[in-house]
């Protein structure tokens, strides 16, 4: 009698079958993530909408009880949790105005005296969509309020040009009275010692004359400290506007600054013009596109065309 050996045959997954399983799992995971993100986003939107709606009701209730005066802050209106909320008001104009923005993640909604319904986006001057607002520290930055606050160096005469500006209608013109170096100096503004600031200015001047942007620093006694000066490229065309930028760090004892433009003597002649417009100084090392309180989503921090202004940053 012969005994034979019985071989066991085993079958496994083929490479193709394994790949199919992996692909199916990946598709299911992607669907789950998308669905989860969608649920999260809707929850954030709903939370922001609810927050701004509730805050607006309390602000309006405060006004009813206080001779139509809006509260000085959200705490005065009884709002204890201000996380994600921004509030602005103006009781000195007629009609009085207010605006509230609520942000949750990348979603912002606002209500204002002019837009009483919950609206996507942010109130003018507020951060929105997860992007923090920035402040243009220059007052009268595009000369729509005349030449107020700006001053000349020697050897230059300033004149306000009411039309032809790069931003808005107006711009500022300095005319040489001799071949000496000239400069135009911004209004003084408050800064924080040791912090970095970036300035930008649009200028138009004679070809091949090198311009310098400069921060002139001041201490608490009003004493001028050593200025920070940065060279810029020469203008390619004396009739064309160009944007100049400069970044510097304030000295440890500086509390205020001016932002200046200085033009050298190369090729200079009496009667040459130095035109400037769209001045902007922001805290930090980033240069942004020009904006002021007349720009969409921006707001003046005080008098129109004559104060600092705040709003979302734009690309240079």
Q: What is the predicted pLDDT for the residue at 1?
A: 44
d(CA 147, CA 143): 6
Angle CA 224–228–230, to nearest 5: 145
- DSSP of 130-155: TB--EEE--SSTTSTTTTTT-EE-TT
- Cα 246 to the chain's mean position, in Å? 16
Q: Is 240 helix (H, G, I), strand (E, B) or coil?
A: coil
For 78, 92, 157, 186, 188, the CA distances from 171, given in Å and listed in that order, are 46, 29, 14, 13, 19
Phi, psi (deg, nearest 5) at residue 44: -65, -40
Q: What is the predicted pLDDT for the residue at 193?
A: 96
Q: What is the predicted pLDDT for the residue at 279?
A: 97
Q: What is the predicted pLDDT for the residue at 237?
A: 60
Tell me the two tokens of residue 183: 């400069």
d(CA 130, CA 315): 16
| 10-residue averages of pLDDT along the chain (316 residues) | 51 76 83 76 92 97 96 96 95 95 95 96 94 96 94 95 95 94 95 97 82 93 88 65 93 96 87 94 96 96 95 89
- Domain 151-311 class, CATH top level: mainly beta
Q: Domain residue spans in the chain? A: 47-132, 151-311
Q: What is the predicted pLDDT for the residue at 207?
A: 66
Tell me the two tokens of residue 157: 């005469």
Is pTM, for the whole model, over 0.85? Answer: no
Residues 6+ apart with CB under 8 A from 108: 48, 101, 102, 120, 121, 122, 126, 127, 128, 129, 130
Q: What is the predicted pLDDT for the residue at 29?
A: 80
Q: What is the predicted pLDDT for the residue at 239?
A: 75
């Amino acid at each position: 009698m012969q005994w034979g050996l019985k071989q066991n045959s085993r079958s496994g997954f083929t490479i193709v079958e394994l790949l199919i399983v992996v692909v199916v799992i990946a598709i299911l995971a992607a669907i789950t993530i998308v669905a989860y993100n969608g649920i999260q986003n809707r929850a954030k939107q709903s939370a922001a909408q609810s927050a701004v709606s509730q805050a607006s009701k309390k602000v309006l209730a405060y006004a009813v009880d206080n001779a139509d005066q809006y509260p000085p802050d959200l705490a005065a209106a009884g709002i204890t949790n201000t996380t994600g909320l921004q509030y602005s008001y103006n009781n000195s104009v007629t009609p009085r105005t207010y605006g509230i923005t609520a942000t949750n993640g990348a979603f912002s909604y606002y209500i204002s005296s002019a837009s009483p319904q919950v609206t996507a986006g942010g109130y003018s001057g507020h951060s929105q969509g997860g992007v923090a607002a920035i402040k243009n520290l220059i007052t009268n930055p595009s000369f729509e309020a005349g030449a107020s606050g700006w001053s000349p160096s020697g050897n230059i005469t300033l004149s306000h040009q009411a039309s032809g500006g790069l931003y808005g209608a107006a711009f500022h013109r300095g005319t040489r009275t001799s071949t000496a170096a000239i400069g135009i100096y911004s209004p003084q503004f408050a800064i924080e010692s040791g912090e970095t600031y970036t300035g930008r200015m649009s200028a138009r001047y004679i070809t091949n004359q090198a311009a310098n942007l400069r921060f002139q620093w001041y201490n608490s006694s009003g004493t001028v400290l050593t200025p920070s000066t940065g060279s810029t490229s020469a203008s390619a065309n004396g009739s064309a506007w160009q944007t100049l930028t400069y970044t510097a760090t304030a000295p440890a004892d500086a509390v205020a600054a001016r932002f200046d433009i200085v033009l050298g003597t190369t090729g200079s002649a009496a009667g040459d013009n130095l035109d400037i417009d769209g001045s902007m100084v922001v805290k930090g090392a980033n240069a942004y596109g020009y904006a002021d309180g007349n720009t969409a989503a921006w707001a003046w921090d005080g008098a129109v065309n004559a104060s600092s202004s705040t709003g979302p940053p734009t690309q240079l």
